[in-house]
Structure 1
Amino acid sequence: MPNIRRVSSTPPPLLPQHIDTPDNTQETYFDFTEENYKLVNKILSKYPANYKQSGIIPLLDLAQRQHGGWLPVAAMDKVASIVEAAPSRVYEVASFYTMFNRTKVGKYFIQLCGTTPCMICGSEDIKKTIEKHLGIKNGGTTEDGMFTLLEVECLGACANAPMIQLNDDYYECLTPKTIVELLEACKEGKPPAMGKWGSLPMNGQVSCEGPLGKTSLWEILPPKVDPERFKDGKVDPASVKAHMSY
């Protein structure tokens, strides 16, 4: 049977199979930048020489960030070459983990949580607001390539529902008003900076405290650990709990 490759100019997201597009074929060129090759070598240095394939996930992530948030086949092939693995081994990793985008996404990739806690707190209203404001539907990308919207499963910020993940960052406690404000800030290239705890509730909270603010745990004493515990680079698995202060 001949090898027939399907060609499309606008493939839908998250397909289980690859579909060639003009900018995504096995013949498309990809290579890491000189600066990123320093990171490639740093990543590979973490693993024994005969276990280079352990670096597939971090190398794919590096390639995706270099390529504007998505992974062409050529980037996967480059990673396969570096770790000395069959390309299929890299394809199966890239297609399994949802952190990897195998089709082009917008500059701002909006992952909207639609799981139960977010749903009952208004994620459907947030989705409708995004769709109306940007003129796209779930799975779509704006014509200017600025935004992609995708509804996903739980992102683990249930206490501050409804929320979205915008590229690497979490924006939480959203309302139709604040999601529009966030989108407009992104259009200006000025998304709000992350809060103290690495996410940003859009209702003025610092983290996930209740309406009365912080009422307990005013001081959190760090566990006492031996700063020299890993100086020789070896850890006895039988004592790992003690090393981690469990």
Structure 2
Amino acid sequence: MPEELKVKEKNDLQKPIPKEHYEKLEEYIDSLPSLEGRLIQVLHHAQDIFGYLPRDVQLFIARRLGLAGAKVNGVVSFYSYFTEEPRGEYVINICTGTACFVKGANKLTEEFEKKLKISAGDTTEDRKFTLKDVRCVGACGLAPLVVINDKVFGRVKPEEIEGILEQYL
């Protein structure tokens, strides 16, 4: 295993991935009683370790589980929980389901974009925030809804966004 593996990121900067991360993932995989049917479980654990699933990590997992790299990438790209790009410390999910949309989710998105100076799907340069829109959170009674990491903000108004962000600065 190389001392440090380089990963090409969205902004084309090279960032080393510590070999300790790979060692930690390898220990986890070795601790499993069986590798059959464990891909999603291993991907979850890998994303917890690395923060995201770059191509090199996916290929490492594929080799260790005896799978094709394309199969691993297919799973990563299919499930919205997994990400191939680094995320911010705080992931802001704006629900865009029908109830939230009707109650102004698009205005919340516009306000977050304005305050953070990024578009939905992007991460701030300091990697503090990632802004995402999600299909449905399943809490329509709280529409429009924002979830930051595990904290839920219901019935959010655009004028409340500055105060919400201040909690994370």
For the pair shown, the structure with the greater C-alpha radius of gyration is 1
RMSD: 2.6
1:67 CA drift (Å): 1.3
> 2:161 maps to what in 1?
179
> 2:75 maps to what in 1?
93
Determine helix, strand or coil for the equivalent of 1:142: coil
Higher strand share: 2
Determine helix, strand or coil for the equivalent of 1:170: strand
Q: Does 1:153 align with 2:145?
A: no
> 1:126 maps to what in 2?
108
The percent of aligned pairs where both chains have the same amino acid is 30
Question: Please, which moves more after superposition, 102-111 or 174-183?
Answer: 174-183
Q: Which runs of 5+ in 2 are unaligned?
A: 1-7
> 2:10 maps to what in 1?
10
> 1:32 maps to what in 2?
22
Can you list the C-alpha shifts for 1:186-222, whole angstroms capped at 9, x where unaligned?
11xxxxxxxxxxxxxxxxxxxxxxxxxxxxxxxxxxx
1:9 CA drift (Å): 5.9
Matched-pair contact (CA < 8 Å) for 2:9–2:85: no
- Partner amino acid for 1:80? A
> 1:166 maps to what in 2?
148
Higher helix share: 2
Q: 1:6-155 residue pairs with structure 2 within 5 A?
A: 10=10, 22-23=14-15, 31-34=21-24, 39-41=28-30, 44-45=32-33, 49=34, 52-68=35-51, 70-155=52-137
- Partner amino acid for 1:61? H
Matched-pair contact (CA < 8 Å) for 1:71–1:102: yes
- Partner amino acid for 1:22? Q
Determine helix, strand or coil for the equivalent of 2:60: helix
Normalised TM-score (structure 2): 0.80
Q: Answer 1 or 2: higher relative contact order, Cα 8 Å, separation at least 6.
A: 2
Can you list the C-alpha shifts for 1:120-162, whole angstroms capped at 9, x where unaligned?
1221221122112111122222121211112221121211111
- Partner amino acid for 2:50? H
Cα distance change on mapping 1:56 and 1:171 into 2, 3 Å = farther
- Partner amino acid for 1:60? L
Normalised TM-score (structure 1): 0.57
Q: 1:202-213 residue pairs with structure 2 within 5 A?
A: none
1:86 CA drift (Å): 1.7
1:168 CA drift (Å): 4.0
